[in-house]
Chains A and B, each alone.
Chain A
Amino acid sequence: MTALVNRPRPFGRNEGGRTPRPSLLAVDWSLVLAVAALVAISGIAVYSATRGPLDDRSFVLKQALFAAIGGTGGAVIAWIDFSKMRDWFRPGLIATLLALVLVLTPLGKEINGTRAWFSIGGFTVQPAEFTKLALIVGLALIFSGRRTETLGRRLGEAFALFGVFSALVFLEGETGSLLVYGAILLGVFLLAGVPVRLLVLLIVSGVGMVSLLLSTGALEGYREERLLSFLNPDADPQSAGYQVRQSLNAIGSGGIDGQGLFEGPVTQLRFLPEQQTDFIFAVIAEELGFLGAATVLALQAFVLLRIFRIAQLARNSFGSLLCGGVFAMFAYQVAQNAGMNMSLGPVTGIPLPFVSYGGSSLITSLLAIGIVQSVSIHRYRVGG
């Protein structure tokens, strides 16, 4: 460890020797541990949900691989001063837009009516996930520094960025991600000090847009059905409401200490569709009970608490807003995913951060943690 600490600064420009070197001591280790715990729980839950009668380990091994990739990537990002993001943003934005457009072409792959995937060597990559990071960085850039910029200009840029991403993602059919983008937008706006009346207006118009979408039937049938089914899960036991009902069955039968790992009948007999991704929370709740599910929620809350703290301690508003965007993203995803598992909200394909099976999602989440750690590690630097 000392070797690392004493290494000549490998990253970043020298900005006049006023900056301490990045220090492992500045890493928020409790955040690392909480995320590691969630990833570990994910491994167990994904294994339980996918092992099947033939002890299929492919899912959990892939998830471990994704965790390794995401963890490594996150570590690299954490070590780099987050102010470097300013330089990377432009090429990052171009790459993101390119990916979002290309996925709409025949290069993209359609799964369950959503053309949102690239298929690369047996893995599928979902650009809409990584777009979240581009959006967070972009919005944080727009609302930090640049003293002379007017609020109107900043809002204009922010809506342009959000609008382009949303439109492309909407074309893919990824309405779930669209909602996450909205949450990120609101989170950054909130911390950036956008006037309250504007925020209220934004929320109202957002709700209006969603209702408009539903009423005009612009959404394909099954998506609308999924959105509406939470209102009455028993309306159609075989389709959208079926998922919610099975999820409730799974969670409800978990009790305090659960049915036992690998022993939850709803999970093991595959009554729960998409159980390793969208409904992983129900799997944990069924097999590990209230103790397990509450632990997951507590860890998620702790992750958010640490991000919140790092946002407060960030050395500048750019850092704060980066953390704010990540905070909003995770908070919304936890609320949405756990909420739909417990029939508090509509069924959308939004993963539970760190826990749901899926490479793009897990890697994106870990990279986001890397950004937050970067803000934490480089918080003493006063320049830039």
Chain B
Amino acid sequence: MNETNRFEHVSGGRFAVLAFLAIAIFAGLGARLWFLQVMSPVDFVEVVEEQRTREIITEAPRGRILDVNGRVLADTRESLVVTLDAVQLAEVAAGSDAETRLAAREVIYAEVATILAAEGVKAKVEDLERTYQRAATQSLKPVVVAEDVTIDTWIEVEERALAGFGVERRWVRDYPYGEIAAHIIGHVGEVRSSGEAAELTARAPGRRYQAGDAVGIRGIEATFESRLRGQPEIRVIELDAFAQVVGTREVTQEAVPGEDVVLTIDIDVQYAVEQVLLDELEQARLRPACSDACLPHRGQAGSIVALDVTTGAVAAMASAPSYDPNEWVFGIPSDQLDYLRTSLDSPFLNRAVSGLYPAGSTFKPVTAYAAVTTGARSPGAVWEDEGVYQLESCREEGGPGCRFQNAGAAVLGPVDLITSLSRSSDTYYYSLGETFWVERDTYGETVIQDTAELFGFGQPSGVQLPADSAGRLPDLEWLQATYGEDQGWFTGDNVNLSIGQGELLVTPIQLANAYATIASGGERYEPSVVAEVRTADGAEVQEFAPRLAAEQSLDPTAIGSIRQGLEWAVQTEQGTAWNAFVGFPMNEVPIAGKTGTAQVTRRADYSLFAAYAPALRPRYAVAAVLEESGFGGDAAAPAVRRVIEHLFEIEGVPMAPIRSDSGDAPADPALLFGATP
């Protein structure tokens, strides 16, 4: 075949090559198809299922928090809210540089701010950008920037089609009483990241969280989170490729509304107690300090706890300063919130359970009980109070470290157990403190600490609130763990402990509960702030019965004398609390109590008073601690008096003017803290 006529016919060989190529192509395609559809190790059906469906978690309405009379302290209501969607905002001017994108967002913010201004909501452009940055970095669901907006705003936002902003119905938390009982109720905040959501979910399976959901942060909102939250609805929706919802596949979990928590407090009483605390703190600020040498009364903070002696139920629990939990409801960071967070007076701190204070003289009943029960000193034994106590163990060499004295070096003369309490003799207890340590082979090294535990010190109170502190009951072990192995427990440590000073720290609720224990003669309850929890429809009610922390019978002789001493402190003219209770109808409601004045380095004295009433058939125990407010009899005792007046609905009786030289001032602070005067 020559070159030209080979184009006359197609050769068989060329056909064969073509056929071979085609067969190869189809063999390859067929094999690939078989591999993908029949043999593939990847479960494509699963992959498709995952990308076409999404779980939508919708929070159930959160349970309410009610007072004992059913008044709503924390409410959930449906509100029309304006939301900021970080995912959508991120798309604004996508593709341009950061500056252009920010400028584009700011145009939108300005429009939103204008719309919200009509609602009376001040939303600054910077705040909205801050909110966006936060939501974007923490992958939140759309964040609420304004709540309770009107239909007009809804329409306006929808009409203007502002990218990233929308209006929806959301459950919002409302605290109608604001600052009142804020520390008990607590507040909700938002779950800040998907990591946090996963952690919360792991703790409470079935109560799935997502970033941006509400979660209890403080108070009952935190401790009863699992009951209040309820079960969110989990709906599996089907999406198309454009993320448009096609429909609902299934509801894998039905919503169950959160349960209602009923507190033991009466909000009126709570309000009254908080007012008493604020008033008395103000009075303390106005009262001049003892002299130029004394530090000024700042009277900035304090706490009052009132417990039902027969059940341990909290009747009132005040902590000042307080805060408005509603500040937390908005997604926008507020100036007020920033202030609260940075305030040195820690408004968020629930001082009733987390405030740590030296007990001062209110601790004396513990030492007294130890003295009687160990036989170290009988109730009737008379001690000559010379105003000053020189440690036996270093009487030889003398020196300032060996001298302990009463407040103002007052000489009380002969005192027994009862009058040592009512007149608050320090030397009576100094000597006991020394005796216990010097003769520790007989009494044991920790007789005071062990006794304190009987009254509930050194352990969390057990109340259903977060940060329920154990306080601090110091001993050699603690000293060495804290300050080093070379530390030793000396006589002076025991002497300080005997009058509730030194390293001892207690919380107001511990103090109230210790006096409730004295009042009941031994039965110690765990304080409870929750009366019952009930389902939203009220069908199931779980009552919170009193919980005994310790069923113990205390030595009746010791307790009898102590109670008498506490009664005399209030009801006799020589008692340290006499002035505070002048004019109080003791025949109707006899009161027993103990003043305390605690030293804190470089601060004015902390004023303490712990009491129970009625003295013979006790119903309530009340403890008050007023920081930097002076003598126990001056600030805390009047506060407790007014609380008791409210609890027993006694008409207010004008009080006698407070004597600023009332007793119960402990020894010279410098001596107590081991420094040379």
One digit per residue, 1 when the CB lies within 8 angstroms of any chain B CB and 0 when it does not, for chain A 308-332 equals 1001100011001100100110010
- Cβ-defined contact, B4 with A147, below 8 A: yes
Q: How many residues of B contact A (CB 8 A)?
A: 42
Q: Is B541 an interface residue (CB 8 A)?
A: no
**Among B233-241, B285-293, B565-573, B584-592, which stretch is in contact with chain A?**
B233-241
Q: Is A27 an interface residue (CB 8 A)?
A: no
- Cβ-defined contact, B44 with A308, below 8 A: no
- Cβ-defined contact, A252 with B37, below 8 A: yes
A320 touches which of B10, B38, B52 (Cβ 8 Å): B10
Q: Is B8 an interface residue (CB 8 A)?
A: yes
- Cβ-defined contact, A334 with B52, below 8 A: no
One digit per residue, 1 when the CB lies within 8 angstroms of any chain A CB and 0 when it does not, for chain B 22-66 equals 100110111011101110101011011101100000000000000
- Residues of B near A308 (CB, < 8 A) are 15, 18-19, 22
Q: Is B21 an interface residue (CB 8 A)?
A: yes
- Residues of B near A144 (CB, < 8 A) are 7-8
- Residues of A near B4 (CB, < 8 A) are 147-150
Q: Is A78 an interface residue (CB 8 A)?
A: no
Q: Which 10 A-B pairs have the closest CB atoms?
A: A252-B44, A253-B44, A269-B240, A271-B241, A290-B37, A270-B241, A320-B10, A253-B45, A335-B25, A342-B32
- Residues of B near A289 (CB, < 8 A) are 37
Closest to B21 in A: A331
- Cβ-defined contact, B34 with A290, below 8 A: yes
Closest to A273 in B: B241
Q: Is A93 an interface residue (CB 8 A)?
A: no
> What is the CA–CA distance of A193 and B40 in the complex, to the nearest angstrom?
42
Within 8 A of B (CB), among A144-179: 144-151, 154
B22 touches which of A154, A193, A266, A304 (Cβ 8 Å): A304
- Cβ-defined contact, B238 with A191, below 8 A: no
B52 to chain A, nearest CB (A): 5
- Residue from B3, B21, B246 whose CB has the most chain A CB atoms within 10 Å: B21
Q: Is A92 an interface residue (CB 8 A)?
A: no
- Residues of A near B14 (CB, < 8 A) are 190-191, 193
Q: Is B659 an interface residue (CB 8 A)?
A: no
A340 to chain B, nearest CB (A): 11
> What is the CA–CA distance of A191 and B14 in the complex, to the nearest angstrom?
5
Within 8 A of B (CB), among A38-86: 53
Closest to B30 in A: A297
- Residues of A near B240 (CB, < 8 A) are 269-271
> What is the CA–CA distance of A53 and B238 in the complex, to the nearest angstrom?
14
A304 to chain B, nearest CB (A): 6
A344 touches which of B3, B17, B28 (Cβ 8 Å): B28
- Cβ-defined contact, B10 with A147, below 8 A: no
> What is the CA–CA distance of A30 and B33 in the complex, to the nearest angstrom?
25
B241 to chain A, nearest CB (A): 4
Closest to A335 in B: B25
Q: Is A254 an interface residue (CB 8 A)?
A: yes
Closest to B40 in A: A252
Binding site for B on A (CB under 8 A): 53, 143-151, 154, 187, 190-193, 246, 248-256, 265-266, 269-273, 285, 289-290, 293-294, 297, 300-301, 304, 308, 311-312, 316-317, 320-321, 324, 327-328, 331, 334-335, 338-339, 342, 344
- Cβ-defined contact, B38 with A331, below 8 A: no
Q: Is B395 an interface residue (CB 8 A)?
A: no
Q: Is B602 an interface residue (CB 8 A)?
A: no
- Residues of A near B45 (CB, < 8 A) are 252-253, 255
Binding site for A on B (CB under 8 A): 3-11, 14-15, 17-19, 21-22, 25-26, 28-30, 32-34, 36-38, 40, 42, 44-45, 47-49, 51-52, 238-242, 246
13 A-B pairs with C-beta separation under 8 A: A147-B8, A150-B4, A187-B18, A191-B15, A252-B36, A252-B42, A265-B52, A290-B33, A290-B34, A294-B33, A297-B26, A297-B33, A342-B33
- Residues of A near B47 (CB, < 8 A) are 249, 252-253
B43 to chain A, nearest CB (A): 8
- Residues of A near B15 (CB, < 8 A) are 191, 308, 311-312
B672 to chain A, nearest CB (A): 70
B11 to chain A, nearest CB (A): 6
- Cβ-defined contact, B241 with A254, below 8 A: no
- Residues of B near A154 (CB, < 8 A) are 7
> What is the CA–CA distance of A314 and B15 in the complex, to the nearest angstrom?
13
> What is the CA–CA distance of A285 and B241 in the complex, to the nearest angstrom?
19
Closest to A320 in B: B10
> Given that A265-B52, A327-B18 are contacting pairs, would A317 and B28 also be in contact in the complex, using a CB cutoff of 8 Å?
no
> Given that A190-B14, A270-B240, A317-B7 are contacting pairs, would A334 and B25 also be in contact in the complex, using a CB cutoff of 8 Å?
yes
- Residues of A near B25 (CB, < 8 A) are 331, 334-335
> What is the CA–CA distance of A187 and B15 in the complex, to the nearest angstrom?
10
A28 to chain B, nearest CB (A): 17
- Residues of B near A149 (CB, < 8 A) are 4, 7
- Residues of B near A253 (CB, < 8 A) are 44-45, 47-48
Closest to B13 in A: A193
- Residues of A near B239 (CB, < 8 A) are 269
> What is the CA–CA distance of A271 and B241 in the complex, to the nearest angstrom?
4
B33 touches which of A190, A193, A246, A285 (Cβ 8 Å): A285
A192 to chain B, nearest CB (A): 6
Q: Give 11 new A-B contacts, CB below 8 A, not counting A191-B15, A331-B21, A331-B25.
A: A143-B7, A147-B5, A250-B48, A252-B37, A252-B40, A253-B48, A271-B48, A294-B34, A301-B26, A312-B10, A317-B9
- Residues of B near A250 (CB, < 8 A) are 48
- Cβ-defined contact, B26 with A256, below 8 A: no
Closest to A291 in B: B37
- Residues of A near B36 (CB, < 8 A) are 248, 251-252, 285, 342
B387 to chain A, nearest CB (A): 85
- Residues of A near B3 (CB, < 8 A) are 150-151
> What is the CA–CA distance of A342 and B4 in the complex, to the nearest angstrom?
44
A290 touches which of B26, B38, B246 (Cβ 8 Å): B38
- Residues of B near A317 (CB, < 8 A) are 7-10
Closest to A344 in B: B32
- Cβ-defined contact, B17 with A190, below 8 A: yes
> What is the CA–CA distance of A144 and B17 in the complex, to the nearest angstrom?
19
Closest to B240 in A: A269
> What is the CA–CA distance of A192 and B6 in the complex, to the nearest angstrom?
8
Closest to B34 in A: A290
B282 to chain A, nearest CB (A): 63
- Cβ-defined contact, A339 with B44, below 8 A: no
- Residue from B34, B37, B42, B241 whose CB has the most chain A CB atoms within 10 Å: B37
- Cβ-defined contact, B8 with A271, below 8 A: no
A293 to chain B, nearest CB (A): 6
> What is the CA–CA distance of A312 and B15 in the complex, to the nearest angstrom?
8
A256 touches which of B10, B37, B51 (Cβ 8 Å): B37
> Given that A191-B14, A255-B37 are contacting pairs, would A269 and B52 also be in contact in the complex, using a CB cutoff of 8 Å?
yes
> Given that A294-B30, A297-B30 are contacting pairs, would A270 and B242 also be in contact in the complex, using a CB cutoff of 8 Å?
yes
B48 touches which of A187, A266, A338 (Cβ 8 Å): A266
- Residues of B near A143 (CB, < 8 A) are 7
- Residues of B near A344 (CB, < 8 A) are 28-29, 32
- Residues of A near B7 (CB, < 8 A) are 143-147, 149, 154, 192-193, 317
- Residues of B near A190 (CB, < 8 A) are 14, 17-18
- Residue from B7, B18, B51, B239 whose CB has the most chain A CB atoms within 10 Å: B7
> What is the CA–CA distance of A342 and B29 in the complex, to the nearest angstrom?
8
Closest to B32 in A: A342
Closest to A147 in B: B4
A384 to chain B, nearest CB (A): 13
- Residues of A near B40 (CB, < 8 A) are 252
> What is the CA–CA distance of A376 and B21 in the complex, to the nearest angstrom?
23
> What is the CA–CA distance of A191 and B40 in the complex, to the nearest angstrom?
38
- Residues of A near B52 (CB, < 8 A) are 265-266, 269, 271
- Residues of A near B5 (CB, < 8 A) are 147
> What is the CA–CA distance of A342 and B15 in the complex, to the nearest angstrom?
28
> What is the CA–CA distance of A192 and B7 in the complex, to the nearest angstrom?
6
- Residues of A near B238 (CB, < 8 A) are 269
> Given that A192-B10, A271-B240, A331-B25 are contacting pairs, would A293 and B37 also be in contact in the complex, using a CB cutoff of 8 Å?
yes
